Amino acid sequence: MLDQAQWTQVVEQAVRAPSIHNTQPWAFTASGDRLEVRHDTARGLPAIDPTGRQQVLSCGVAVHFTVVALRGSGITAEVDVLPDPADPEHLATVRVTGRGEPDATDVRAAAAIGARHTDRAPFLPEPLPAGLVDRLQAETGRDGVWLKPISRMEEETAVAVLLDQGEQLEQHDPAYLAELQAWLRTDPDAPDGVPVTALPTESRATNFAVRDFAGGGPHPTPATPADDDPPPPVEHPSVVLLGTAADDRRAWVWAGMALGRLLLSITDAGLTASPLTQALDQDWARNRLTARLDLVGHPQMMLRLGRPSGAQVTSGRRPVAEVLRVS
């Protein structure tokens, strides 16, 4: 059995998981050798995430980080997904099953939790390490989850068009813009939300545009280039799509756990990621993406991957005391 101090240490790592708009939509209840993970619907995003799908994915990442934190401490655990059919917001229960010496893989994965961050700035112009995508596909390919690289020209074109269409429609939606503004943070010590210091200010040329937070309120002002400045280099990030065979809450939790494995693997490799979800926020966009890419299954998360080009900007986290109850 773990005591309150031990569960606090574990949850401190779990809440390092990324979440849509850094809403941190999770709540934890620890009791003896069990940790329940729940979706906190009070932190919902009805405009961008009307079904709660992306927040459930975020909670799934936190579930995986919980298991990794335990293993890094020499504690083995198992996960029961949606253990109570009558309580759909109870997404998972992590059960301690034993103790043992962590191996090198466990230690590296646990260390990657603190190093992981979302990077919206342009990546360095270099390819991913050889064999990395194959390894990521092997690591994520379980529980009905699959990983697809977006590599063919026709696939890149389809994704670029849908990202642009999704972005344009959202930027003309007053409810979406109000939601963006509500979750932007100018205070560097804010415990949640997206810090404006994490938003890119440099000009970029890319087919895979990150989300434009400019319509949401205060944000850094890009420098105005001089007339004789050369054009910015064209960014060609690697893009992968994570999907599932099913499209229900169980599948969303599994997808989040797979996303957690992916993020820790690329962090350990010295890389970083940022989401490209404008083509996934609404059902029409997900359906169109499925048709354009001839997918067998349901797209859940799209990411650009690469080597960071600048300093890390860390988003705030809510105090563990706000999200953890020990009974």
Q: Are residues 247 and 203 in the same domain?
A: yes
Q: What pLDDT was estimated at residue 219? A: 45
Range of the domain at 45: 4-116+322-326
Q: What is the CATH number of the domain that holds 252?
A: 3.40.109.10
Q: What pLDDT was estimated at residue 226? A: 56
How buried is 243 (Cβ within 10 angstroms: 0-12 exposed, 13-18 middle, 19+ buried)?
A: buried
In a domain? residue 269: yes
Indicate yes or no: pTM above 0.85.
Answer: yes
Q: What pLDDT was estimated at residue 220? A: 46
In the block, which residue shows the tokens 């966009």?
285
Question: Mean pLDDT of residues grouped by 10 in the chain (327 residues)?
Answer: 96 98 98 98 97 98 98 97 97 96 96 95 92 97 97 94 94 95 94 91 72 63 54 76 98 98 98 95 94 97 94 91 97
Q: What pLDDT was estimated at residue 225? A: 53
Q: What pLDDT was estimated at residue 83? A: 97
Q: What pLDDT was estimated at residue 204? A: 64
Q: Are residues 46 and 81 in the same domain?
A: yes
Q: Are residues 136 and 111 in the same domain?
A: no
> Which residues are 308's β-sheet partners?
123
Q: Return the axis-axis angle of helices 53-72 and 104-115, rounded to nearest 10°.
A: 130
Q: Are residues 69 and 161 in the same domain?
A: no
Whether the CA torsion 22, 25, 28, 34 is positive or negative: it is negative
Q: Are residues 70 and 20 in the same domain?
A: yes
DSSP code at position 88: T
How buried is 171 (Cβ within 10 angstroms: 0-12 exposed, 13-18 middle, 19+ buried)?
A: middle
Coil, strand or helix at 204: coil
In a domain? residue 126: no
In a domain? residue 39: yes
